[in-house]
Amino acid sequence: MAQIAFITGASSGIGAACARKFAQNGYTLLLNARNTEKLQALQEELQAAYGVSVVLLPFDVRDREAAAHALKQLPEEYQAIDVLVNNAGLALGIDKEYEGIEENYDTMIETNITALLMMTRLVVPNMVARGKGHIINIGSVAGDAAYPGGSVYCATKAAVKVLSDGLRMDLVDTPLRVTNVKPGLVETNFSVTRFGGDKERADKVYQGIKPLTGEDIAEVVYFAASAPAHVQIAEVLVLATHQASGSLVYRS
């Protein structure tokens, strides 16, 4: 049977691009997101284009019971997951830390940290038992240093780095690999979500610079996954050419 990749947050952006890249290379896909309609459209696209098997897992990654149930209900042949891409994540608002909306704090922490931990807890034990698997966490340049209006989001992505490093240590006596991919400016619906659906405001984030695309990050993710078994791409920072850090960007 083909190798299996499980991708969270797969309905758009980096997640959807990763789904396409793995499908191009013959992987069986388990795709998660909340938006069932978008997932179904992606499923139809990938099955038609590449003839791969695509199984949909439409649940909110913050819902532990739904996640556990969905994975438990998978047919046995789909439970031997080879690659877990913990991609689901978001930023909400650019408020000062002491003026932010508490619900936004909760959503970012639960999605970017707690859900990643839960997916890891649900999937990795089976990988360890099989002696095979790769966990790829989508972090961010924002996890390297805080920037104004983004401290909570930055903190969640710093947590992704530490959790990735810690998991790698925990798995050092196994053949499993752990990768943290840290994108910079990627033009997806990320900023639209951050600004509450204000696309005009979101578009300004990418003005004057050629940003990365979801496909650029998917290439890096697949490169890490396809490296020889003795090679562990532990961490990759991917920036647009005119971006030097999370906060320093040159715009023409």
Catalytic residues: 153, 157
CB atoms within 10 A of CB 232: 18
The CA distance from 65 to 147, in Å, is 35
Residues in the chain: 252
Burial of residue 90 (number of CB atoms within 10 Å: 0-12, 13-18, 19+): middle
- Angle formed at CA 180 by CA 183 and CA 187, multiple of 5 degrees: 20
Closest CA to 41 of 11, 74, 7, 86: 11
b/e burial code for range 2-20 (CB count within 10 A of at least 16 → b): ebbbbbbbbbbbbbbbbbb
Residues linked to residue 83 through DSSP beta bridges, in sequence order: 5, 134
Closest CA to 205 of 142, 112, 160, 152: 142
The CA distance from 97 to 112, in Å, is 17
The CA distance from 105 to 123, in Å, is 26
The CA distance from 65 to 143, in Å, is 28
With beta carbons less than 8 A apart as the criterion, state whether 211 and 149 touch: no
